[in-house]
Amino acid sequence: MNTLAQLNFDNTFARLPEHFYSRVHPMPLPHPYLVSFNNEATDLIDLNSAEAQREDFVEYFSGNRLLPGSSPLAMLYAGHQFGHFVPQLGDGRAILLGEIKNKAGEYWDVQLKGAGITPYSRRGDGRAVLRSSIREYLCSEAMHGLGIPTTRSLCVVGSDARVYRETTETAAVLTRLSPSHVRFGSFEVFYYRRQYTQISALADYVIARHFPEVTNAADQYLQFLNTVITRTAKLMAQWQAVGFAHGVMNTDNMSILGLTFDYGPFGFMESYNPKYVCNHSDESGRYAFDQQPEIGYWNLSALAETLTPLIPEADLQYALGNYSTIFNDTYITLMNQKLGLAQNNQDFSLAWSLLKLMRTSQVDYTNFFRALSNFNAAPDEQNDQLRDQFIDREAFDRWANEYRQHLKNETASSQARSTQMNKINPKYVLRNYLAQVAIEKAQQDRDFSEIDILLKLLRKPFDEQPDMAKYAAPAPDWAQHIEVSCSS
């Protein structure tokens, strides 16, 4: 493992022409202090975790000093925000220090989020707040624990410097790790400027860097798009199955690699409600939970349009036509796995009827599916612990009888089925109130212990962890009024 001075930077994006970014240095963060350090992320960049004990560690990860070998820049992109095209966005508060090549040959971007003003800040202060930094830090690691593709987080550095959002808050810098920060909007900015040479140059770069298997294909751009469509469709299915709402699915927040990206006003479903809107800034419900699959398609269509200089229109439409099939097949498979049914069972009727019952009774999404692993399929068993979660118990009984009939066709034993269900139905997710408790302790008393507890808990969300059972509880009454917005 390496020291900070030995990190193996190989800054491929910085070697692209400066059409794609602006050179910029981080702004100093006054009196930085370490909030939390994720020692499990150090392996990604071959960093010795003991380096976090250095007195100057926070100087490097606040942006006050540059890591040796880094080449800081702010990336240029555009995007459709809530359906409206904005011709220039870019990293307004994030600075890419560079890319580290680890001993496995993998590249990881190291980005400081909240590192100060860039040419794309649009009158903003270039800062992130402690609240939102803690939320992204925890949720990116929670999603990784759930097996969902995501960016990662190395650490959070705080400061008493004041920043102004909906209220006055304190500043922070989040160090984000990702195989790439290229997004759909990275292509859109050049398409709408009619700079088609830059589109092909960016596509060539992304293919060579992330999709080398298609580099020599005659239709490499189409194969590239097909892969992005597949990854995005599967990601949307995973979000839906676990009950995750992103909150701001603008095209500039969509990763070209199909990663969960740019965490803001996210939320994990509490009581099941397909119309759940986790972002109180989203007054129209454009990014409601049940709209995410369709928005995924809409965003891919916007990306596909930018590739019209490289791919025939008929091929683009055919590729986009595969999205629904990939999403549906993946989602149905995941939902049937949550029910303990065979992976090749593509009948969605049982899951659909259950979701309708859960909506009517406002059943806790995560806890119900976790408890379902204990379902007793004996004919006379009422499964009271499950049944009592429903207002219409007789309706649940009818569903339970149908479920029993499906289970008769399964070859696995009840114990094996229960074990498999507990591998896909998490016991713990990052409920908003859990994050809020950690944030308030950090803000009021500089008590970061709750952050570290949640970080450890969410690494193994499928394990029982008996001493942590209280973290599986639904939101208490006081938490019903927590609101998150685009400033989150």
Taking only the tens place, the pLDDT of each residue in 183-193 is 999 999 999 99
pLDDT band with cut points at 50, 70 and 90 for residue 222 = very high
Decide if 452 is inside a domain. no
Name the E strands within 179-330.
244-245, 267-268
The pLDDT confidence band at residue 70, using thresholds 50, 70 and 90, is very high
The C-alpha atoms of residue 219 and residue 447 are separated, in whole angstroms, by 54
Q: How many domains does the chain have?
A: 1
pLDDT score, position 166: 82
For residue 307, which amino acid is it? L
Is 449 part of any domain?
no
The predicted pLDDT at position 480 comes to 74
Does 231 map to a domain? no
Considering only residues 127 and 480, tell me which one the structure prediction assigns the higher pLDDT.
127
Amino acid (one-letter) located at 10: D
Which pLDDT does position 343 carry in this prediction? 63
Mean pLDDT of 21-44: 97
Q: What's the token pair of residue 103?
A: 């001993």
Does the pTM surpass 0.95? The reply is yes
Domain-located, residue 159 = yes
What proportion of the chain, given as a percentage, has pLDDT over 70?
99
Whether 85 is in a domain gets the answer: yes
143 touches 154 (CB < 8 A):
no
Extended strands (E) in 241-304: 244-245, 267-268
Predicted pLDDT of residue 485: 66
Element (H, E) at 113: strand 107-113
Average pLDDT, the chain: 95
Summarised one tens digit per residue, pLDDT across range 393-446 is 999 999 999 999 999 989 889 999 999 999 999 999 999 999 999 999 999 999
Give the structural domain span for 63: 4-184
Residue 409 lies in a domain: no
pLDDT surpasses 80 at 486: no
Phi-psi region of 79 (alpha: psi -120 to 50; beta: other; left: phi over 0): left
Categorize the per-residue pLDDT at 123 as very low, low, confident or very high, splitting at 50, 70 and 90. confident
Is residue 355 in a domain?
no
Q: Which of the residues are catalytic?
A: 252
| Residue 346 pLDDT > 90 | no
CA 354 to the chain's CA centroid: 26
Q: Is residue 358 part of a domain?
A: no
State yes or no: pLDDT of 488 exceeds 60. Answer: no
